[in-house]
A and B are shown apart, each in its own frame.
Chain A
């Protein structure tokens, strides 16, 4: 029982970070109808951003979070404005293919500039943990989970309460009508994708503290983000949190009761099952 509680706690902590990882993907998918196969690479770049800010400039990764987010926002903004906007009205397959290509380019550039070595962002308190209800909770994981959930709530408020947020949602609903309201779609698209990239950057920054990074983690993280977004449903940030928690707990349980090498089987297997039987996700509407 003790062990189960610990496993669940691990799952929840992991789940929070997972939710943040998938948030940017779900935003861009839900609003722009862009299925971004390069999403994992953006997370990877965020991780490297946090790593280098820490090792070269001594900035704590949690403090560096806004910096990483801004950096990735700019990158995402430019990608959307200069590349993706050019094919915004093309068939979906073109978007899949082009983001696939962007993913390959980003991975290569990372490997060229950062080398293929495994790295971890290691602040001094990385090994600290505290005990609660008999469970051992690593400090960095608790902080990461907390920040992840805070950012999720912030996004939800942003989309619902601010002018820009509502403009984004309006553009998602009806591209033509939004123009009539003085909203410039090209700008909105670039902003939204930039926002998605910023969230990926935040997730990456945190990921670099709790796990190892190298230029090739993008592909698996993309697949995981898809799993979370689809399992939870693309309707709202809440769905992504549910998806993240669900996957985090499933992975923790699988790692203990089946074996750590079966974790990917479980997560991607569930993704396939959800796609086949309930593509709108756990929280999605039944058509």
Chain B
């Protein structure tokens, strides 16, 4: 299946999904919104982590900035939702440019820790800002209509996926891949690695911020802990990695599959979602570290030994 036919199939699925709010129960629609937003976050992470190879453990910061940007614009300055979203994006991009620059000079786990620390710093800073409602947070105007939010979230995911598709066949995207594979060689090839890394970070930030803004308006209430939710980081990463980092549809599929299984389990044993995600992470990293897309590609030839091969290659 070529990339293009895969994308067309995905767009068809998206068009079908657009009808869900009229056919499904309200609970399912809410589940849908959450899943679609998570899938967008996973795609955003895919841009900086999957394609560029800089595994950020703090993309929740963009989500939070998007949430607060939207909330502040709507609650404090009485601006419409659209402007609020734009403001959230502006905040995210500013953050990516100002703080991305120094932090993207770090490699590997130092970069991961730095992004984690930045997420903590922003949570702490925002919980001190009066305009953000300090620790208490902000209450946004109420808009009843899960259908609208569902369609918005769906549209955002489609946009994010199209962006990743564009990446996979653009000069910029190839530059990112080169950076991931061998950053020194990429520089010696004529790629402005600093510029590209920051742009990738900003692009991931844009989609994450939009997801945050939509989420804020939907649930009507945000506070520092829920807006900069650190647990989102593990979710978006495992979804992207499980589905296949550096692929176009992998993170989306990973998000759908993991959310669905988690939801099913939750109805059997309540609040087991956390345990589920944690266990999936452990099992997946050991047995299928390169994600679903790699699994699908190799399992026909390798069979069950695909899993034991992965373990044998990496065990002490």
Q: Which residues of A are in contact with B by a Cβ distance under 8 Å?
A: 35, 83, 85-90, 92-94, 96-98, 100-105, 107-109, 185-186, 189, 219-220, 223, 226-227, 230, 259, 261-265, 268-269, 271-272, 275-276, 279
Contact = CB atoms under 8 A, between A and B. Distances in A.
Given A83-B286, A96-B112, A98-B281, 4 more contacts: A96-B109, A97-B241, A103-B278, A272-B118
Contacts of B313: 89-90
B285 A101 contact: yes
A272 B103 contact: yes
Given A89-B314, A101-B279, A105-B275, A264 B113 contact: no
- Chain A interface, >50% SS class: helix
Given A87-B315, A92-B109, A269-B121, A104 B285 contact: no
Nearest to A272: B117
Interface string B279-296: 111100110010000000
A87 B120 contact: no
A108 B274 contact: yes
Interface string B283-312: 001100100000000000000000000010
A271 B112 CA distance: 12
Interface residues of B, number: 47
A109 B275 contact: yes
Contacts of B275: 104-105, 108-109
Contacts of A219: 230
Contacts of A279: 106, 110
Given A90-B289, A276-B103, A104 B314 contact: no
Interface in B92-110: 99, 102-103, 105-106, 108-110
Interface of B: 55, 57, 99, 102-103, 105-106, 108-110, 112-114, 116-118, 120-121, 123-125, 127-128, 135, 230-231, 234, 237-238, 241, 272, 274-275, 277-282, 285-286, 289, 311, 313-316
A88 B277 contact: no
A103 B117 CA distance: 17
Given A93-B55, A109-B275, A35 B282 contact: no
A104 B193 CA distance: 34
B23 to A, nearest CB: 34
A87 B286 contact: yes
Contact of A104 (B118, B135, B281): B281
B120 A101 contact: no
Contacts of B314: 86-90, 94
- Chain B interface, >50% SS class: helix
A264 B121 CA distance: 7
Nearest to B128: A261
Contacts of B315: 85-89
A122 to B, nearest CB: 27
B121 A265 contact: yes
25 contacts: A86-B286, A87-B286, A89-B313, A89-B315, A90-B313, A93-B108, A93-B109, A94-B314, A96-B55, A97-B285, A98-B282, A105-B274, A105-B279, A108-B278, A219-B230, A223-B120, A226-B113, A226-B116, A226-B117, A227-B117, A261-B124, A265-B125, A271-B117, A272-B118, A276-B105
Contacts of B103: 272, 275-276
A2 B118 CA distance: 35
Contact of B57 (A96, A102, A268): A96
Given A276-B103, A276-B105, A100 B114 contact: no
B117 A98 contact: no
A226 B102 CA distance: 19
Contacts of A87: 285-286, 289, 314-315
B130 to A, nearest CB: 12
A264 B105 CA distance: 24
